[in-house]
Amino acid sequence: MDILGATLRVCVDDLETAVPFYERLAGGTALRFERGGVQVAAIGCFLLMSGPEAELEVLRKVAATIAVADVDEAHKVLTELGAYIVAGPVTTPVGRNMIVMHPDGAIYEYVDRRS
């Protein structure tokens, strides 16, 4: 399983206020989208999220997003290592993802970027 990088997940009250700070910090422009009623801005290694508290409560449980070369391969390796697959793998507009609980209880999102 090839881990390509990690994205830090940050829940914010006001996305419009937070984006300029993180754009300057990361030296890039935010890629914005909405998913499940949550407004999202991806900037460098940061994934800012803002929306209804009920949605953010769930998102806060995921420590980070880990990019991998292939989610299906990651699924195989992680289950062999005793991880619990909470959700997925599922196809998204930019690739596939899954939510995984490691044996120590930490929860991560694993994603790949397929064309």
In which order are the strands placed within the sheet that holds 64-68? 31-35, 38-43, 46-50, 3-11, 64-68, 107-113, 95-101, 84-92
- % of the chain residues with pLDDT over 70: 98
Q: Given this model, what pLDDT does residue 115 score? A: 54
If you average pLDDT over every residue of the chain, what do you get? 92
Q: Is the pLDDT of residue 94 over 90?
A: no
Band (pLDDT 50/70/90 cuts) for residue 91 is: confident
Q: Given this model, what pLDDT does residue 34 score? A: 86
- % of the chain residues with pLDDT over 90: 78
pTM: 0.82
Range 49-64 average pLDDT:
91
